[in-house]
A and B are shown apart, each in its own frame.
Chain A
Amino acid sequence: MITTHRLSKLYGRGLYALRDLTITVGKGEFVFLTGPSGAGKSTLLRLLLMKERPNEGEIIVNGHNLANLSRSEIQEYRRGIGFVFQDFKLIQRRTVLENISFVSEVIGVAPAQQRRRAFQVLKWVGLQHRMNAYPQELSGGEQQRISIARALMNDPALLLADEPTGNLDPDLSLEIMNLFREINAGGTTVLIATHDRELIRLVGRRSITLDQGRIVEVAEGMRA
């Protein structure tokens, strides 16, 4: 699903966020990216989302070399990716239902189809009863579940999450990880950046440890 070859990202003079990074994530795989702050985890996710461009190397996602995509192809590519952030990035003046259906609305999905899918994913994360609430009325765990529901709206082939449990307590973190496992069980490739090694141990999937932009360890997980 994802292959990077000698990928480098340079910020400023000589400051590498990623250096000669070569990794492969198979289709349907669940992989953790871990390492200390500044290891390059978030940078790799930003490159995969095409929010930034690498200085060297290439990224192949689902057979597409990201360097060769035109503007409209980038739009099309992003429609196949779901994303979850540590700070949820929910729109405060929209209700839960509006936050979720918004991502389908702006890619031109018909209103009836938007609503149907939004109810479906809300039910799946167990928050259909909060659909008319505003984000600020929800707990952190609920907000992250909404954020995951939003990521699933367009039925992505790849789900990227950047420290999705960073703002949550351990119990809620595990609950969120279980959601990711269920998503992965449905065939979606999941790549999660986290520095929480205990959580990785509990979930028991493959993890790639980065430090100063390089791979320092790859651990095959024991499925929990």
Chain B
Amino acid sequence: MRAFDYAFRQGWASLRRGGGSTLFAVVAIALAMSVLGALLLVTWNVERLLARWTTSAEFSVYLRDDATSEQRGVIEALVDQSGAAAGRDYVSKEQALVRFRTEFAELASTAAGIGDNPFPASIEVRMQAAAEADGRADALLKKVATLPGVSDVRYDRAWLAKVGAGLNALRRAGGVLALLMAVAAAVTVAAVVRLGLHARREELEIMQLVGASLAFIRGPFVAEGLLQGGFGAVAAVLLLWGGFSVASASWGPQLTAALEGVDPQFLPARFCALLVAGGMVVGGVGGFAASRHAV
């Protein structure tokens, strides 16, 4: 406990003595954590949108124009008996045309010029969330696609999976970038902490001669790195919050529209805490690397 107390007191003192070089290290960590935080902020909000889409996911069974009511009845019975559907609606050809005219009002003139109604009748099936996980949704999809009277089957989930994959790719690319920046930040912290180490060379020599333990000798440098990392990460969170507030105030309605009615939210407290902890780990690693030159 005394070593811990000593490490943080000396680390804090060294941080204050560091001046410009300390600021440099804090900015490096803040930049790395800002990239990671921005990535988290984007993916967090897109994931919320995806979650909403996922809960309202449905598949559409498009019927051939010559499909009979008996064939439709067979399809509806299969859906009802599958246990995978939360509900279904029949959309006739006429209803599909009306829906098109309502949702795409700007194309009303084009639709007016169409002679025969080109929109197929369909059965829209809302899936149970659990049916996706246990494979019942896929099984139902395959069975329905083979039934007579069915011209096509479209399942949102496939599209959602593509969006999810895109999001994962973005997360990976951002993660690699954040990792590179974190390594650069750790190297910067190590260099800055080593400057302080050289300034304390005489003190370190005395510490070794009087038999101070490694915790006392190296602890202050690790603590200094942890503090630099913590301050850098807090700065990054504040920077992100400021940017988010400005963006929300300036383009709130546009952002909500882009997220299909989902209000953009700032990172939850647990993510902010994770960012700060991550910054401290990066700084601590830098401080630890520097401290190896102390003995």
Instruction: Return B221 CB to nearest CB of chain A, in Å.
Output: 14
Q: In the complex, how many angstroms separate the beta carbon of B130 from the nearest chain A beta carbon? A: 58
Identify the closest chain B residue to A104 (Cβ).
Answer: B210
> Are B206 and A89 neighbours in the complex by a CB distance under 8 Å?
yes
A154 at the interface (CB under 8 A from B): yes
A89, B207: Cα distance in complex, Å: 12
B200-218 CB contacts (< 8 Å) to partner A: 202-203, 205-214, 216-217
Q: Which of B1-58 contact A (CB under 8 A)?
A: 2-3, 6
Q: Which of B206, B211, B214 contacts A102 (CB 8 A)?
A: B206
Q: What is the distance, in angstroms, from B216's C-beta to the closest C-beta of chain A? A: 5
A78 near B211 with CB under 8 A, answer: yes
User: Given A106-B207, A108-B3: A75 and B213 within 8 A (CB)?
Assistant: yes
Interface of A is mostly: mixed
Among B202, B210, B213: residue with most chain A CB under 10 A: B210
Give the distance in Å from the alpha carbon of A78 to the alpha carbon of B210 in the complex. Answer: 5
- Within the assembled complex, what's the spacing in Å between the Cα atoms of A196 and B203? 29
* Contact residues on B (Cβ < 8 Å of other chain), bracket: 10 to 19
User: A83 in the interface, Cβ–Cβ < 8 Å?
Assistant: yes
Selected contact of A103 from candidates B3, B206, B213, B217, CB within 8 Å: B206
Question: Are A108 and B206 in contact, CB atoms less than 8 angstroms apart?
Answer: no
Chain A nearest Cβ from B210, distance in angstroms: 4
Cβ of B202 and Cβ of A106 under 8 Å apart? no
Chain B residues lying within 8 Å of A27, measured Cβ to Cβ, are none
A91→B206 CA distance, assembly (Å):
9
Q: Which of A49, A78, A79, A154 is most buried by chain B, counting CB atoms within 10 A of its CB?
A: A78
Q: Which residues of A contact B (CB under 8 A)?
A: 49, 51, 71-72, 74-79, 81, 83, 89, 91, 102-103, 105-108, 110, 154
Interface residue ranges, B against A (CB under 8 Å): 2-3, 6, 202-203, 205-214, 216-217
